[in-house]
């Protein structure tokens, strides 16, 4: 059962995964390293969804915060000449945090389909603004140069994905996942279970369900934004279509269902599976991509309702 | 002289044409065990709802320890020290009994850690276990709540309400849905546990034998008004009470 998980076990898992990924860097072909890094970026957005799912909520508009993160990085680069990946990350997280704080006052009173769709509405509004505003790059967006870290500028010949960027993404993701795991095991995470299971009892335990939802919403937004920053740094480009468009938000929900909400590792594993399948599908059967997605979703819902992570639970003989 | 814990002044509440409370003046002294009786729809649950901030009265005032708490939220009333159990138990159905209490202790108990720090730690687990033992539901610890018999659910609902040690607890029909045979067991158990916590108790009850046995004082409601208020002997013998409350029993369908 989710409540009684050990935080320590996950901490060990995260540490091991981090060390292994960093050690593998010299051996990884460029496409594989790129897939890993992109999966960590996308996985962060899905990790935010996982928090919301633990609260019994789904957002069909995480593209909103993904875009805010990506654009914060790109605009900082474009207009302020900032190239530092750490500064860009902080800018993305802070912008998304501020927007989520404000929008949170609207969404925190809603549940179920209304919560999901309000977020979709916000993301569509942002998409419209980005696509129509020339200073924001309109539909073409912006390019972003190779990022630096704390004054250290990687060799431009080495390509976009250097060890510095890779290491930065791996380590930041690990720290964030560790922090989310602790959060889920803390009173705020338990309050989330309460929101999902019985809000009335939660209120009678002196907890503001709305306040708890607001905190979770801001946390999910910050994660989505950090994922957006990483993705833009990896791709080198940001457009409204690739970030704020509703299909992107739908994709994150897809991956969240694929992975399940059993563990903070699930979003990253699912995102990696998703990236790999997409890469191969686009290469060998470009017309069948949508169908393949549909079939996968169908199979997961029918046979693995707890997502890919429930396979791990089954192997360990626990009921999911 | 003992402290007046709860006092309501001319409380009034209507739902459309239905009068759920009118001119309700009730005062409860610290340490008392008050039984509340009344026919279906007499306004007993509405009274609990108003006192705990779930409903705002249309008229009147609610004072708790001399402080005006009229119009405060459920959370504020809970923080102030008024907790409640429900006619239909309000639990976390997908979790086990133990997890329900962990959650309750974890978000509200005196030993809860700061909200961002992991919570499964000995203090929280020990408190949850102690509560299960106090209410004698420990043997159901690992059972999911949606698979529990009604009696255990009722007990767990009360146990959850007692997390955080309130000064006052309102029990809305603690024995409804429990067989006549088990009623006294359950109620004796609960009253014992509540006495140990030194909580002041107000319980809504339809079984007059239970009321007579456990209440120090009885308040009878009729159509939103207080019909009688006094010792069990006096109130339960009152002809108006016998006509409008006692006579109508037993066997009524429980509601929300
Ligand atoms: N939220 C509500 N909306 C409309 N009417 C309500 C609401 N809550 C209670 N009522 C009405 O107010 C009256 C008092 O209801 P209340 O639930 O307080 O009665 P009660 O004494 O608890 O009865 P019971 O013994 O059946 O539990 C009833 O006529 C009920 O139908
Ligand atoms: Mg009632």
Q: Using pLDDT thresholds of 50, 70 and 90, give the confidence band for residue A247.
A: confident
pLDDT attached to residue B59: 93
pLDDT attached to residue A135: 78
Ligand number nearest CA of B219 is 1
Inter-residue contact A66 to A226 (CB < 8 Å): no
pLDDT digit string, tens, across residues A288-320: 888 888 888 888 889 888 888 888 777 776 543
Closest to A166 measured CA to CA, from A23, A47, A319, A313: A23
- For residue B61 the two structure tokens come to 């005032």
pLDDT attached to residue B109: 67
Number of domains forming the structure of chain A: 1
Mean pLDDT of the A68-81 span = 89
Distance separating alpha carbons of residues B28 and A231, to the nearest angstrom:
63
Distance separating alpha carbons of residues B28 and A268, to the nearest angstrom:
57
**Dist. CA B38 → ligand 1 center (Å):** 12
**Dist. CA B111 → ligand 2 center (Å):** 33
Asked if the peptide bond before residue B250 counts as cis, ω within 30 degrees of 0, the response is: yes
Tokens 């009729």 belong to: B222
Tell me which residue range forms the domain holding A237. 2-245
pLDDT attached to residue B173: 92
pLDDT digit string, tens, across residues A87-131: 999 999 999 999 999 999 999 999 989 998 999 999 999 888 888
Q: Is residue A266 part of a domain?
A: no
Q: Using pLDDT thresholds of 50, 70 and 90, give the confidence band for residue A3.
A: low
Q: Using pLDDT thresholds of 50, 70 and 90, give the confidence band for residue B12.
A: very high
Coil, helix or strand at residue B178: coil
State which residue of chain B sits closest to A6, comparing Cα positions. Answer: B120
Atom 31 in ligand 1: residue holding the nearest Cα: B41
Distance separating alpha carbons of residues B72 and B62, to the nearest angstrom:
10
pLDDT attached to residue A147: 81
Inter-residue contact A167 to A149 (CB < 8 Å): no
Distance separating alpha carbons of residues B233 and B194, to the nearest angstrom:
23
Q: Is residue A294 part of a domain?
A: no
CB contact under 8 A, B116 and A194: no
Tokens 């069909």 belong to: A60
Closest to B174 measured CA to CA, from B104, B161, B164: B161
What is the full DSSP assignment across B51-112? Answer: HTTSS--SEEEEEETTEE-TT--HHHHHHHTEEEE-SS----TTSBHHHHHHHHHHHHSTTP
What is the full DSSP assignment across chain A? Answer: -GGG--HHHHHHHHHHHHHHHHHHTTTS-HHHHHHHHHHHHHHHHHHHHHHHHHTT---TTTHHHHHHHHHHHHHHHHHH---BHHHHHHHHHHHHHHHHHHHHHHHTT--HHHHHHHHHHHHHHHHHHHHH-TTTTGGG-EE----BBTTB---GGG-S--HHHHHHHHHHHHHHHHHHHHHHTSHHHHHHHHHHH-HHHHHTTT--HHHHHHHHHHHHHHHHHHHHHHHHHHHSEE-HHHHTSHHHHHHHHHHHHHH-SS-TTHHHHHHHHHHHHHHHHHHH-GGGHHHHHHHHHHHHHHH-TT-THHHHHHHTT---
pLDDT attached to residue A133: 84
pLDDT attached to residue B110: 63
Distance separating alpha carbons of residues A195 and A19, to the nearest angstrom:
36
pLDDT attached to residue B1: 63
pLDDT digit string, tens, across residues B122-173: 888 888 999 999 888 999 989 999 899 888 899 999 999 999 889 999 999 9
Maximum separation of any 2 CA atoms in chain A, in Å: 61
DSSP state, B140?
Answer: G
DSSP state, B145?
Answer: G
Residues with CB under 5 A from ligand 2 (ion): B 45
pLDDT attached to residue A92: 94
- Mean pLDDT, chain A, rounded, equals 88
**Dist. CA B16 → ligand 1 center (Å):** 12
HSE on the CB side for B149, CA within 13 Å? 10
The pTM assigned to this predicted structure is 0.88
Distance separating alpha carbons of residues A79 and B147, to the nearest angstrom:
60
List of chain B residues whose C-beta atoms are within 8 Å of the C-beta of residue A185: 118-120
Q: Is residue A161 part of a domain?
A: yes
Chain A residues with CB within 8 Å of chain B CB: 1, 3-4, 6-7, 182-183, 185-191, 193-194, 197-198, 200-208
Q: Using pLDDT thresholds of 50, 70 and 90, give the confidence band for residue A137.
A: confident
Mean pLDDT of the B251-255 span = 46
pLDDT at A224 over 70: yes
We report the CATH number of the domain holding residue A137 as: 1.10.3470
Q: Which residues line ligand 1 (CB under 6 A)?
A: B 15, 18, 20, 38, 40-46, 87, 255
Q: Using pLDDT thresholds of 50, 70 and 90, give the confidence band for residue A46.
A: very high
ipTM over 0.90: no
Question: How close, in Å, is residue A38 to chain B by CA atoms?
Answer: 29
Mean pLDDT of the A28-55 span = 93
Inter-residue contact A216 to A209 (CB < 8 Å): no
Q: Which of A187, A204, A206 sits opposite B119 (nearest CB)?
A: A187
HSE on the CB side for A170, CA within 13 Å? 23
Inter-residue contact B108 to B131 (CB < 8 Å): no
Q: Which of A42-51, A261-270, B108-117, B182-191 has the least mean pLDDT?
A: B108-117
Closest to B90 measured CA to CA, from A52, A205, A253: A205
Tell me whether B88 touches chain A (CB under 8 Å). Answer: no
Mean pLDDT of the A161-176 span = 92
CA B23 centroid distance within chain: 22
Q: Using pLDDT thresholds of 50, 70 and 90, give the confidence band for residue A149.
A: confident
Encode burial over A45-64: b for 16+ CB neighbours within 10 A, e otherwise: bbbbbbbbbbbbbbbbbbbb
- For residue B167 the two structure tokens come to 């000064």
pLDDT at A138 over 80: no
Query: How open is the CA angle A179-B109-A193, to the nearest 5 degrees?
Result: 50
Higher pLDDT, A251 or A78: A251
pLDDT at B111 over 70: no
Closest to A264 measured CA to CA, from A223, A230, A225, A299: A223
Distance separating alpha carbons of residues A212 and A199, to the nearest angstrom:
11
For residue A148, the cross-strand partners are A84
pLDDT attached to residue B251: 45
pLDDT digit string, tens, across residues A4-18: 556 678 888 888 999
pLDDT attached to residue A140: 80
- Give the architecture-level CATH label for domain B4-89+165-246: 3-Layer(aba) Sandwich (3.40)
- Mean pLDDT, chain B, rounded, equals 87
Q: Which of A220-224, A265-269, B75-79, B177-181 has the least mean pLDDT?
A: B177-181
> Count of A–B CB contacts within 8 Å?
95
- For residue B45 the two structure tokens come to 């649950």
């Amino acid at each position: 059962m989710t409540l009684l998980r050990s935080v320590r076990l996950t901490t060990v898992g995260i540490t091991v995964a981090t060390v292994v990924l960093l050690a593998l860097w010299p051996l990884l072909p460029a496409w594989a390293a790129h897939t890993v890094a992109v999966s960590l970026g996308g996985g962060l957005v899905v990790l935010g969804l996982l928090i919301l799912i633990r609260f019994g909520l789904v957002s069909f508009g995480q593209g909103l915060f993904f875009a805010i993160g990506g654009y914060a990085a790109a605009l900082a680069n474009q207009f302020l000449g900032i190239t530092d990946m750490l500064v860009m990350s902080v800018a993305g997280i802070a912008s998304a945090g501020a927007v989520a704080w404000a929008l949170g006052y609207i969404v925190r009173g809603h549940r179920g389909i209304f919560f999901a769709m309000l977020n979709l509405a916000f993301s569509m509004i942002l998409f419209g603004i980005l696509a129509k505003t020339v200073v924001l790059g309109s539909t073409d967006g912006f390019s972003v140069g190779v990022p630096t870290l704390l004054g250290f500028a990687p060799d431009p010949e080495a390509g976009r994905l250097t060890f510095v960027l890779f290491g930065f993404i791996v380590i930041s993701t690990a720290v964030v996942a560790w922090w989310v795991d602790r959060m889920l095991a803390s009173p705020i995470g338990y309050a989330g279970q309460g929101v999902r299971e019985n809000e009335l009892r939660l209120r009678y335990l002196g907890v503001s369900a709305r306040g708890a939802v607001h905190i979770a919403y801001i946390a999910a937004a910050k994660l989505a934004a950090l994922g957006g920053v990483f993705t833009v740094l990896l791709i080198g480009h940001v457009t409204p279509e690739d970030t704020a468009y509703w299909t992107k938000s739908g994709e994150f929900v897809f991956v969240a269902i694929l992975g399940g909400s059993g563990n903070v590792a699930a979003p990253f594993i699912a995102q990696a599976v998703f990236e790999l399948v997409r890469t191969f599908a686009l290469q060998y059967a470009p017309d069948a991509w949508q169908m393949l997605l549909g079939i996968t979703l169908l199979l997961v819902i029918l046979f693995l309702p707890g997502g890919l992570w429930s396979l791990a639970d089954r192997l360990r003989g626990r009921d999911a | 002289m003992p402290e007046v814990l709860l006092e309501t002044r001319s409380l009034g509440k209507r739902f459309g044409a239905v009068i759920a409370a009118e001119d309700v003046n009730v005062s409860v002294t610290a340490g008392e065990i008050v039984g509340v009786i009344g026919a279906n729809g007499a306004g007993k649950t509405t009274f609990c709802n108003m006192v705990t901030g779930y409903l705002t009265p249309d008229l009147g005032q609610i004072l708790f320890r001399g402080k005006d708490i009229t119009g405060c939220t459920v959370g504020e009333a809970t923080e102030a020290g008024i907790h409640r159990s429900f006619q239909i138990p309000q639990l976390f159905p997908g979790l086990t009994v133990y997890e329900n209490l962990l959650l309750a202790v974890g978000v509200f108990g005196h030993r809860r850690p700061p909200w961002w720090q992991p919570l499964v730690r000995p203090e929280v687990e020990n408190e949850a276990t102690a509560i299960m033992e106090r209410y004698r539901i420990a043997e159901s610890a690992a059972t999911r709540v949606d698979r529990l018999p009604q009696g255990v659910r009722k007990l767990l609902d009360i146990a959850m309400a007692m997390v955080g040690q309130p000064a006052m607890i309102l029990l809305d029909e603690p024995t409804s849905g429990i067989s006549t045979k088990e009623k006294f067991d359950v109620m004796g158990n609960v009253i014992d546990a509540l006495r140990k916590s030194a909580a002041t108790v107000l319980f809504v009850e339809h079984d007059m034998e239970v009321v007579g046995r456990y209440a120090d004082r009885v308040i009878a409601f009729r159509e939103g008004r207080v019909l009688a208020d006094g010792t069990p002997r006096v109130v339960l013998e009152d002809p108006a009470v016998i006509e409008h409350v006692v006579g109508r029993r037993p066997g009524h369908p429980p509601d929300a």
